[in-house]
A and B are shown apart, each in its own frame.
Chain A
C-alpha cells in the first residue's frame, strides 16, 4: 500500500502530520512531533494501522482530541483504509467510545427561536476591562443601591456590564469536609501523633516532654456549577456565566453549561480576563440559546463526570428555569442519581422571583424534591441567597 512512502522520511512525515494537526487546533508541540519521528525510527511502521497508533500515542494528550485527530489523519493519508474501518476487528484498533461523544446527528429541539447574531456574549458595552474594574470598585455602593434588587432581565446592557464586575467578585465558599491528611495540634482530645512526638523528643534528649496530637485537616468541598444556556434562560445566562467565571477563578469550581448538550467550561473560563473567558466559553459551547434537554444533560454529567468522582461529596449548583423538552420522569431519575453522589444540590431558578410563581413546569417540579435549596438568583441581591445556600453547613 503506502509502505514505501511511509518508510522514506520520518522527520518530514512527522513534521507534516504535526503541523496539519496543529492547524486543526490540536496542541501538538514540536517535542511531541520529535517523539513521533523517534518512534518511526525505532519501529518503522509496515502498515497504515501501525502508523496510526504510533501517531496517536505520541501526538495526542487527551481522548477528547481523538475525533479531530482521526479526521486529520484520514485527510493526510487519504489513500488506503480508514482507521475507523478496522474498529471492532479484534486485531485492529478497538472501537472508540470517547466519553465526550456527543449525539451530533440528533436535531436539537428549540424552545425559542435563536435571537440572531452572536450568542449573547459579544464584548458588550464594557470596553476596556481594567477601566471598568476600577469604576466598579469606586462605584460599589452606587451600583448596589441602584441596581441591586432589579432583576437581571430588566437591566440595560450598560447596567449589566457594570454589575458583572461585582458579580465576578461574589465568593462562593463551600462547607468543609475532613480529609485524610492531618495537621499537628496540642489539643489532647485528638489522636496522639507518635512519629511527630518522637521526632520532637530528639530535642529533649529522647524524652517525649511535649506530646503532639494529630487532627484531621479540613478542605472546602468541591463546587460544581451547571448552567442552563438555552433560549429561555438567555436574559440571565450572560450574568450567570460571569458568576461561573468568578467561581472557577476564585473557588476552583468546575463549570458546565448545557442546552441540548453538556459542555465542560472549566478550562475555557480559567483565565483572568473576563471578556476573553466569555468569548472562549461561547466558542466552546456551540449549542448556545438552543432548546433544553435537562434530563439528557444531567445524565451526561453524572455518567461522564459525576460518577468518576467529580460530583462525589460536592456541592452542585444547577442554574436553570426547568423548562425542558424531556420527560419529567427522566429528569427525576437523573436527579436521584445525582442526589446519591452530591453532598448538596442547590437549584437556582430566576423565575422563582416572579409574582405568582409556582414550580409547576414539568422538569422543575420533578427536580425540586431532590434539591436541598431552591433560590431565585434573579438579581444581584438575590445572589447573596445563593452564596448562603452554597455555604450552608450540615453535619451528616
Chain B
C-alpha cells in the first residue's frame, strides 16, 4: 500500500506538468525533443509518482531525458553514476573523519570539551547523491537520476530500492531522515544483466527507440544551430544507413551531432563523398567500423 500512501504529486508540480502535451512543449523548451511515448513515461513518473526505468541503446538520450525533466521542473538534477562495487558510503553518506579528528585536536589544544553530538552533527556529514535527493529542501522535488544501475552489484540495487520505496533513511547518529519532497526517480540500464524482479515491479518501464531520421535531423539542428538544414537531413539519413551495418559501435545521436558539428566547422552545407570521407572518424569510432563503412562505399553512405 506504499503506492497509495504516495498517490498524487504535489500541487506545485501538478501545476507545472498538467498534461502530456504541456510536458512535450516544456521539454522542447528545454531543448529536448521527445516523442509522445517518452513524454507519457516522464509524465507518469512525475505525476503518479512512480520511479521510471529507462532502457535503450547507448546514445539514445536516456540521461538527457532526466536532465531535461529537471530543467522543466526547475529543480536540481542529482545524479548517481553506478559502477561495480559502489557501496552505501559512496551513494548515501559518510562521516568526514579527517575534519572530525581535526576538530578534536583543535578542541584539545584550546582546552575545550567536545561532546559526541557535536562530533556527529551536520557539519561533519558528507552527503552523497541519495541522501542529497532525500534531503532536498524544495520547493519542488529534485530529479534523482540513477544511471546505469545494471553496473552496480545486485545487493546495492536492493539497498537503493528499499530506500527509494520508503523515501526515508536512518543514520544511527542522527536519527531518521524522511524526505519532505520525495524525489522524482529516473533509473537507466544498459541491460548488461537482468535487473531484479522486485525492482522492476515497482517501476514504470520505457524502452527508448532510436528516433526516425526526421526526428534525428531536428535534434541535430537544435544542438548545432549553425548547421544547414539539408546537411542535418543528409547526416541523419547517413547515420541511419550506417546503423544498418554490422558495426561494433553503431553511431548514436551524440555521434550524429558531433558529425554535423565537424562538417559545419568545415563549412559544408550538403553531405558529399569528400566531406563524409574526411570526417567519418567523428561518427565511427574504431578501425574495423571504419573499414566496414568504407567497404560498403562512401557513395552508399552519402546516399
Does B180 sit within 8 A of A, measured CB to CB? no
- A143 within 8 A of partner (CB): no
Task: Report A-chain residues with C-beta under 8 Å of the C-beta of B151.
Answer: 309
Contact at B20–A94, with CB atoms within 8 Å?
A: no
Does the CB pair A94–B7 fall under 8 Å? no
Are B204 and A50 in touch, CB under 8 angstroms? no
Instruction: Say how far A39's CB is from chain B's closest CB, in angstroms.
Output: 5
CA distance A197 to B188 in the complex (A): 36
Residues of B within 8 A of A179 (CB): 84-85
Spot the interface stretch: A9-17, A27-35, A144-152, A361-369: A27-35
From B191, B205, B215, contact of A308 by CB (8 A): B191
Q: Is B285 an interface residue (CB 8 A)?
A: no
Q: Say yes or no for A58: interface residue by CB 8 A criterion.
A: yes
* Minimal beta-carbon separation of A89 from chain B (angstroms): 8
Answer yes or no: B113 CB below 8 A from chain A CBs. Answer: no
In this assembly, does A136 line the interface, its C-beta being within 8 Å of a C-beta of chain B?
no
Chain B residues lying within 8 Å of A195, measured Cβ to Cβ, are 97-98
Q: A residues within 8 A CB of B246?
A: 299, 303
Q: From residue A383, how far is it (CB to closest CB) to chain B in Å?
A: 27
B43 near A181: Cβ-Cβ < 8 Å: no
Q: Which of B44-52, B137-145, B165-173 contacts A (4 or more CB under 8 A)?
A: B44-52
Contact partner, A39, options B48, B105, B193, Cβ 8 Å: B48
Q: Is B159 an interface residue (CB 8 A)?
A: no
B window 247-289: CB within 8 A of A: 248-249
Set of chain B residues within 8 Å of A38, measured between Cβ atoms: 7, 48
Which of A39, A63, A97, A308 is within 8 Å of B44, CB to CB? Answer: A39
A107-115, A124-132, A198-206, A255-263: which one contacts chain B? A198-206
B interface footprint on A182-221 (CB within 8 Å = 1, 0 otherwise): 0000000000001100110110001000000000010000
- Answer whether residue A42 sits at the interface, using C-beta atoms and an 8 A cutoff: yes
> What number of residue pairs across chains A and B have CB atoms under 8 A from each other?
123
Task: Verify if A103 is at the interface (C-beta below 8 Å from B).
Answer: no
Give the shortest distance, in Å, between B39 (CB) and chain A (any CB).
9
The answer, yes or no, to whether A54 is at the interface (CB within 8 Å) is yes
B200 within 8 Å of A by Cβ? yes
Query: Nearest residue in B to A38 (C-beta to C-beta)?
Result: B48
* Shortest distance between the CB of A66 and any CB in chain B (Å): 7
**Chain B contact surface mostly:** mixed
Enumerate B150-164 residues with CB–CB distance to A below 8 Å: 150-151
Contact with A along B189-229 (1 / 0, CB 8 A): 01111100100110111110111101100100000000000
Instruction: Say yes or no: B207 contacts A66, CB within 8 Å.
Output: yes
Interface string of A336-352 (1 = CB under 8 A from B): 01000000000000000
Let me know if B40 is at the binding interface, CB within 8 A. Answer: yes
Residues of chain B contacted by A58 (CB below 8 angstroms): 44, 204
Please tell me if the beta carbons of A267 and B194 are within 8 angstroms of each other in the complex. yes
Q: Which residue on chain B has the smallest CB distance to residue A200?
A: B97
A278 → B minimal CB distance (Å): 20
Distance between Cα atoms of A62 and B195 in the complex (Å): 10
Q: Is B296 an interface residue (CB 8 A)?
A: no
Range, interface on chain B = 35 or more
Q: How far in angstroms is the closest Cβ of chain A from B186?
A: 13
The answer to whether A199 and B97 touch across the interface, beta carbons within 8 angstroms, is yes
A63-B55, A99-B191, A198-B97 known; A42-B201 Cβ under 8 A: no
Given A97-B209, A195-B97, decide whether A180 and B36 contact each other with a Cβ distance below 8 A: no
B123: CB under 8 A from chain A?
no
Question: Are the CB atoms of A181 and B85 closer together than 8 Å?
Answer: yes
Cβ-closest chain B residue relative to A266: B194
- Minimal beta-carbon separation of B229 from chain A (angstroms): 15
Cβ of A89: which chain B residues have Cβ within 8 Å of it?
A: 212
CB pair B201–A96 under 8 Å, yes or no, is: no
A157 within 8 A of B: no
Q: Is the CB of A56 within 8 A of B192?
A: no
Known interface pairs A31-B201, A42-B48, A307-B248; A93-B41 also in contact (CB < 8 Å): no
Q: Is B19 an interface residue (CB 8 A)?
A: yes
Q: How far is the CB of B113 from chain A (nearest CB, A)?
A: 15
Is the Cβ of B36 less than 8 Å from the Cβ of A93?
Answer: yes
Distance between Cα atoms of A63 and B189 in the complex (Å): 12
- Contact digits for B74-107, partner A, Cβ 8 Å, 1 yes 0 no: 0000000001110100000000011001001100
**How many whole Å from A199's CB to the nearest CB in chain B?**
5
State whether A94 touches B204 (Cβ < 8 A). no
A56 CA / B20 CA spacing, docked (Å) = 15
Judge whether A77 is part of the interface by a CB distance below 8 angstroms: no
**With contacts A43-B20, A198-B97, A309-B192 known, is A94 near B37, CB below 8 A?**
yes
Of A31, A63, A92, chain B has the most CB atoms within 10 Å of the CB of A63
> Knowing A42-B44, A179-B84 touch, does A92 contact B36 (C-beta < 8 A)?
yes
**What distance in Å separates the Cβ of A112 from its nearest Cβ neighbour in chain B?**
28
Assuming A54-B40, A61-B200, A201-B101, is B193 touching A310 (CB within 8 A)?
yes
> Could you list which residues of chain B lie within 8 angstroms of chain A, going by C-beta atoms?
3, 7, 19-20, 35-37, 40-41, 43-44, 47-48, 50, 53, 55, 57, 83-85, 87, 97-98, 101, 104-105, 150-151, 190-194, 197, 200-201, 203-207, 209-212, 214-215, 218, 246, 248-249
Using A308-B190, A309-B190 as known contacts, list a sample of 17 further A-B pairs with CB atoms less than 8 Å apart, ordered by residue number in A.
A42-B48, A53-B41, A54-B40, A54-B44, A58-B44, A58-B204, A61-B203, A63-B207, A92-B35, A94-B215, A95-B212, A96-B209, A99-B57, A180-B85, A199-B97, A206-B105, A310-B192
13 pairs of residues in contact across A and B, judged by CB atoms under 8 Å: A31-B3, A35-B3, A42-B48, A50-B20, A50-B36, A57-B204, A61-B197, A94-B212, A99-B57, A181-B84, A198-B101, A206-B101, A217-B85
